[in-house]
Amino acid sequence: MENVNVPELFGSLVFDERVMRQRLSDEVFASLKKTIDENVKLDENVADAVAEEMKNWALENGATHFTHWFQPLTGVTAEKHDSFITPSPDGGVIMEFSGKELIKGEPDASSFPSGGLRATFEARGYTAWDPTSFAFIKDRTLCIPTAFCSYSGEALDKKTPLLRSMQAINRQAMRILKLFGTDCKYVKTSVGPEQEYFLIDKEVFEKRPDLKYTGRTLFGAMPPKGQEMDDHYFGVIKPRVQEFMADLNKELWKLGILAKTEHNEVAPAQHELAPIYSTTNIATDSNQLTMEIMKKVASAHGMVCLLHEKPFAGVNGSGKHNNWSLGTDTGINLLSPGETPYENAQFLLFLCAVIQAVDDYQDLLRLSVATAGNDHRLGADEAPPAIISVFLGDELTAILDAIKNDTPYQGREEVKMKLGVHALPRFSRDTTDRNRTSPFAFTGNKFEFRSLGSSNSIACSNIMLNAAVAESLRQYADELEKADNFEDALHDLIKRVIKEHERILFDGNGYGEEWVKEATEVRGLSNLKTTADAMPKLLDKKNMDMLMAHKIFTEAEVHSRCEIMLENYVKTVNIEGLTMVDMVRKNYLPAMERYLYRLSQTTVLMRQVSDKVKCNYEVSTMERLSELTDDILEAVKRLEVALVEVKEQGDIFKTSEYIRDEMLPRMDALRKCVDEAEMLTSQRDWPFPSYGQLLFSVN
């Protein structure tokens, strides 16, 4: 096996701080560092110097082109490559790259989603260098992370509002820290997104049109064995998968992506990769790259990486756990309770800010993870429910109760775990258990938002989370800055927030029906089950007012996001419906007809041999398959009607509701009939690989 020098390999294709410190003058480096750390305006002369050294470094590492790498509202990344070549007077070429080219690009913006921000014929758009995220080399191309906006300045991407949200939370957090006398220059959010995915054999994948067109199986009966034995989770990694993971790590490490943990997940063929924390902006860029590279490396190993939230019915889907924290440039984690959290007023205030944010803007957090794919996953046994709640654990819950009731906090004794074997070490138990049914759980010094879907950019969730917490902090700063007695006002504020927002705190089983009833009927929490339910909440006045007040979005940008996400939902399900009709008409019904013909021929021949032959199997199978053929025909006709009617609904809100209320139930009904037919039809006659062949295809 090839030896890998990880420290030498790590970041070798990144124009990071180490490279900049070596190649840039002290003056240029100091100026650029100030721009990165303190969000001050970039000096154009600095840009020229950086561009020259960035070009030289890229050429030395084999790059021939550069691109402004951006994240449009499609949810994936985009890039337009330009070579470094410039013609020289002698007929040759020279390699040039200016500060102007570094700072600004001009891709065609007409074909990217804009949600009505611009007409289709208005093609001009701009990309602007984001110096807070390091440039890198991918496929012999220098990739420069950039923001993307329209000719009139509206954000057409996910990076711009994310950077705005980070700026907003920094501004409000700094006001709070000033009151506590905490010395620092800035506050940044950090994220570590755990990424779940499936690996299946490429040859089998190519035989499934539904996987190719939609990323998920639209049909498929469960195999005799699924995940019920719990033998795949954390099990021994298969050699072929291990080789994939080894190559994936190398490619990620080259790009400075902090790939740390890898293991088998619960479902067969499912796995997980977890990185170390990094600043939210960089973590978002890194996660987009991670998903791209996963697919590329899998293909090189004869496999396909599936990132759909629910590629297989009946087994766990894939999510993305967004581990979110808040810290200062001096290394203080503002969500770390310390040794005595009851006495740590600064921690308690930031904790309250998050609790209030989740309660006040639970609808924003829910819609930030809303997609057609994730609708199939949320609420199932492997994912948190659509109801947003906060899990704190026993100790923090007891502390907040003591503050709320003005009673002394008794503290907790450190519990030493004894395992009954003398040779095994004793260790301290954590102050809180983990609650896998909670969508938003405190896990020691961070919050884990577990509702994100596997294929989605983490930008949306972090935009909403940053903005909501910034709003809580703004309210606190406004109140405390006016207080005559800071300590008294702080105590009263924390106590009041706990009382007003305790409804969002829940440490129990989020899967239970009793919780749904309690959450909605007693506590008044929202239960937005689908994208069609959740996305319109973006336009609620309280949400728009908050997002606009913190300059995360303009009014036009808010409306555009709502329209784009609902359009994506409608188009996704429409493609799935068309794929189902295509597979049923061209493959499933003809296959069932062929099998029925063979059964009928067999029955006739058997009875010719002897009139005592009962042919029970053949006759009973033919009778049920014939019924199913009729049922499938009727079901596919009903779906075809829905595919026509969905185009006649008018606005995007009515269309998404029609998808939810009419299209999806008809798709489910069709699938149910086809899946039963699969269990009655011979494998030889069935046109596509089964679930068993898909889930257990990688040996």
Q: Could you read off the pLDDT of 533-579 as tens digits, one per residue?
A: 999 999 999 999 999 999 999 999 999 999 999 999 999 999 999 99
Cα torsion 607, 611, 616, 619: sign: positive
Residue of 540, 507, 555 whose CA lies nearest to 361: 540
pLDDT > 70: what percent of the chain?
Answer: 92
Query: Mean pLDDT over residues 155-163, rounded?
Result: 94
* pLDDT classification of 116: cutoffs 50, 70, 90: low
> Could you give the residue ranges of the DSSP H alpha helices within 148-208?
159-180, 202-205
Residue of 647, 639, 660, 629 whose CA lies nearest to 582: 639
Q: Which helix (H) or strand (E) holds 637?
A: helix 616-645
CA distance 360 to 562: 19
Q: Is the pLDDT higher at 363 or at 86?
A: 363
Tell me the Ramachandran region of residue 324: left when phi exceeds 0, alpha when psi lies from -120 to 50, beta otherwise.
beta
In this predicted structure, what is the pLDDT of residue 40? 76
CA distance 160 to 561: 13
> Does residue 381 register a pLDDT over 80?
no
> Does residue 427 register a pLDDT over 70?
no
Find the radius of gyration of the CA atoms of the chain: 28
CA distance 603 to 429: 68
In this predicted structure, what is the pLDDT of residue 123? 57
3-state secondary structure of 577: helix
Beta strands in 301-373 (DSSP E): 303-306, 320-328
Amino acid letter, residue 528: L
Q: What angle do CA 65, 279, 464 make, to 5 degrees?
A: 105
CA distance 123 to 110: 4
Other residues' Cβ atoms within 10 Å of the Cβ of residue 669: 16
**Tally of helices (H runs) and strands (E runs) in the chain:** 25, 20
CA distance 255 to 257: 6
Query: Burial letters for 30-50: b for 16+ Cβ neighbours within 10 Å, e otherwise?
Result: ebbebbbeeeeebbeebbbbb
Query: Burial letters for 560-595: b for 16+ Cβ neighbours within 10 Å, e otherwise?
Result: bbbbbbbbbbbebbbebbebbbebbeeebbebbeeb
CA distance 687 to 173: 59
CA distance 54 to 15: 7
Residue of 193, 216, 373, 215 whose CA lies nearest to 273: 193
In this predicted structure, what is the pLDDT of residue 166? 97
Cα torsion 366, 372, 378, 383: sign: negative
* pLDDT classification of 513: cutoffs 50, 70, 90: confident
Bridge partners (DSSP) of residue 93 are: 87
- Mean of the per-residue pLDDT values of the chain: 90
The structure tokens listed for 505 are 């705190």
Query: Mean pLDDT over residues 104-108, rounded?
Result: 77
**What dihedral do alpha carbons 560, 561, 565, 566 form, nearest 10°?**
-50
Residues 325/190, Cβ–Cβ less than 8 Å? yes
Instruction: Give the tens place of pLDDT for each residue, 437-493.
Output: 789 999 889 999 999 999 999 999 999 999 999 999 999 999 999 999 999 999 999
Q: Which residues contact residue 461 at a Cβ distance below 8 angstroms, ignoring those fewer than 6 apart?
A: 322, 365, 368, 369, 449, 451, 452
Burial, 167: exposed, middle or buried (Cβ in 10 Å; 0-12, 13-18, 19+)?
Answer: middle
Considering all CA atoms of the chain, what is the largest pairwise distance in Å, rounded to the nearest integer?
Answer: 103
CA distance 230 to 552: 44
In this predicted structure, what is the pLDDT of residue 103? 87
Q: Are strands 416-417 and 427-428 parallel, antiparallel or unpaired?
A: antiparallel
> Does residue 411 register a pLDDT over 80?
no
Q: Which residues contact residue 625 at a Cβ distance below 8 angstroms, ignoring those fewer than 6 apart?
A: 592, 595, 596, 599, 677, 680, 681
**Residue 697: phi, psi to the nearest 5?**
-85, -20
Residue of 359, 518, 505, 389 whose CA lies nearest to 450: 389
Amino acid letter, residue 87: P
The lowest-confidence range among 145-159, 161-175, 256-270 is 145-159
Tell me the Ramachandran region of residue 344: left when phi exceeds 0, alpha when psi lies from -120 to 50, beta otherwise.
beta
Burial, 344: exposed, middle or buried (Cβ in 10 Å; 0-12, 13-18, 19+)?
Answer: middle
Q: Which helix (H) or strand (E) holds 674?
A: helix 664-680
3-state secondary structure of 249: helix
The lowest-confidence range among 175-184, 215-224, 371-380, 462-471 is 371-380
**Residue 257: phi, psi to the nearest 5?**
-90, 125
Query: Mean pLDDT over residues 255-263, rounded?
Result: 94
**Residue 175: phi, psi to the nearest 5?**
-60, -40
> Does residue 431 register a pLDDT over 60?
no
CA distance 55 to 331: 33
3-state secondary structure of 275: strand
Specify the pTM: 0.93
Q: What is the DSSP string of 14-72?
A: EE-HHHHHHHS-HHHHHHHHHHHHH-PPPPHHHHHHHHHHHHHHHHHTT--EEEEEB-B
3-state secondary structure of 449: strand
Q: How many Cα atoms occupy the beta-carbon half-sphere of 64 within 13 Å?
A: 3
CA distance 162 to 598: 60
